[in-house]
Amino acid sequence: MAIWRTETTPEELQARSRDTLAERIGIRVTQIGPDYLRATMPVNSYTHQPMGILHGGASVALAETVGSLAANLCVDPEKYVCVGQEINANHLRPASSGVVTGTARPFHIGGRSQVWSIEIRDERDRLVCISRLTMAVIERK
């Protein structure tokens, strides 16, 4: 059973990222599953840190982007909006090239908050980063 309250497509979600950090660093929404949202990000000079590997902040940007998009699909968009409240990340292995994929799945979808797990994996399906994102669910005014 799907968890989404709003039906959309990866292309429609991608359009929401125009002129944002996500667009600038190349985050692309690729898949909406019944209980997950997936996006990719290139590992290149825009997302590297000075040592030539994926910047931890870029991983966190991917995690917050995919988790935030997912969270907002789980609420009535006429009444509520979800905004980031807290995020943490454990960087487990370096990536220096290619593409990483972030997959967001919920731990908790509540009326006032949501908690999401985001796994970031490299092209060989190795875990690069694990993140937990807490979203506040607030009423639209």
Helices (H) and strands (E) in the chain, counts: 3, 6
Q: Decide: 137 and 75 in contact? Cβ < 8 Å.
A: yes
Kindly name the residue from 23, 64, 78, 119 that is annotated as catalytic. 64
* 64 given a catalytic annotation: yes
Render 33-97 in DSSP notation, one character per residue: -SS-EEEEEE-STTTB-TTSSB-HHHHHHHHHHHHHHHHHTTS-TTTEEEEEEEEEEEE-S---S
According to DSSP H, which parts of the chain are helical?
Answer: 10-15, 21-24, 56-72
Q: Which two tokens stand for residue 127?
A: 């875990």
- Which residues are catalytic, by number? 64
